[in-house]
Amino acid sequence: MDADQFRQAAHAVVEQKSLQTELPNSAPTHSEPWDAIQADYQNLVLPRMTDWSSPGFAAFFPSGTSYPSMLGEFLASSFAGSMFSWICSPAATELEEVVMDWVAEALDLPTSFYHNKPSSKGGGLIMSSASESVITAMAAARDRALEAIRLKDPTVATCSNWRQKEASNFVVFGSETTHSSVMKAAKVLNLQYVTVPAPYSNDFRMVREQLCQELESSISNGFIPVFVAVTLGTTSTCAFDDLEGIGKLLDDHPLIWGHVDAAYGGNALLLPEFKYLSPLLRPYASFTVNLNKGMSVTVDGSCLFIRDKFDLASSFTCYGSYLNPDKTIGGPQSLKIWFVLRSFGLEKLRETMRRGFQLGEEFANLLKDQQDLFEIISGPRLGVVAFRIKAPSSNGSSETLHERSNRLTLQVCQDVNASGQAFLTGCTIGDFYVIRMVTTHVSNSPASIRSILGLIIQAASRGENATCCKPSSV
């Protein structure tokens, strides 16, 4: 795509009528026939939707679904009630507790994350997203730290705004590849945020040594560390942070709440080959995994496991006189997880997951077969490969080879997406611009990943990069 073609395409995108221009400005006064509503859905809404189940979709992370999950959603929507306490619908709370324990067992989580283990004070909750999970855990961490300060020195609570004053010195830590929701949560809660380096030399992982340096620096400057976000499966490259090393560090800093964001990577704990990670979760106060990213559950399927429910309850309990705070709150969303686990069984879910991971290995091998064109920056890991296009050695430009490779990779990503035949996401990690290929979507297959690679090669072979890249059979 040259500059003129891009200009024409951009005008076409801008000039395309949006859905807002196609629909009335106000709701109808009288009822409309269902046939008309369905026709507008088919003709106006559906064509403007991104099809995540298309074989050419390899962007973001997977967001799965299945017939059992759909049925669970359907039945959950049939309950005409607000389930804000146990008494409003006892089965909803009780089923959620049972299902969360099933998930904890399937992932081999530490016993402290179960509802119904004799020695456990924790349990799992169904949340709308991993972002909601992280702000929930962070708020509980803040309040736990405030209570520890008050117990140590009760006089601090004599000031009317003591909580705000003390919390202004609290620090949250996350790596440069941590999901943006962690920084956003810190902003919402008015907490300081420190970014820990996760360089290319560490495969974009946060490791104990660099976290230690940032902790010591913050403490020496009078700040109080209260929260560390550790990721299993970062968005950019699916990197796994130093779970073991940072866990040992937490043992030395009991005031710090360790939160594991395993929204994507946590699903892999279902596989025996990843069970070695489960015991390393013991020092962490919370763990979140999105079942919609690996277990055929429809959004929302985010599960937040807490080691001590008291920390959560003491932070968020605020009952009106009309409520009966006799049980934890649960909703009907557990139905779809219950249906999926029973309909598929764990072994079938493992089989599907392994197939997606294997496709990532196959795609990486295809890239390695053309090392004159592609450079793998990270992966393959759990079906995620981060790579870029190799620029020609010289084109008379003042740009460095590294800069040209980054620019060409961005151009190729945009060209493939503009074709409408595939959808990829690109991102900047360190000083690399990469394309993320994700092979764990529901319709990805050996044929689809080869087709997507063919589109990438065609895009790379055009224009400035044509001297070094020629289309080849994949």
Share of the chain above pLDDT 90, in %: 61
**What's residue 214's pLDDT?**
95
pLDDT exceeds cutoff 60 at 422? yes
**Judging by beta carbons within 10 Å of its beta carbon (0-12, 13-18, 19+), is residue 409 exposed, middle or buried?**
buried
Question: Does pTM surpass 0.75?
Answer: yes
User: pLDDT-derived band of residue 314, with 50, 70 and 90 as boundaries?
Assistant: confident
pLDDT exceeds cutoff 90 at 21? no
Sign for the CA dihedral angle at 434, 438, 439, 444 comes to negative
**What's residue 84's pLDDT?**
61
What is the rounded distance in angstroms from the CA atom of residue 50 to the CA atom of residue 376? 27
pLDDT exceeds cutoff 90 at 72? no
**What's residue 119's pLDDT?**
86
Give the chain's domains with CATH numbers.
80-331 (3.40.640.10), 347-467 (3.90.1150.10)
User: pLDDT-derived band of residue 2, with 50, 70 and 90 as boundaries?
Assistant: low
pLDDT exceeds cutoff 50 at 468? no
Determine how many CB atoms are found less than 10 A away from the CB of residue 450.
14
> For the segment 258-302, what is each residue's pLDDT rounded down to a tens digit?
999 999 999 999 999 999 999 999 999 999 999 999 988 988 889
> For the segment 109-164, what is each residue's pLDDT rounded down to a tens digit?
999 999 988 888 999 999 889 999 999 999 999 999 999 889 888 888 888 888 88
Per the CB < 8 A criterion, the answer to whether 126 and 302 are in contact is: yes
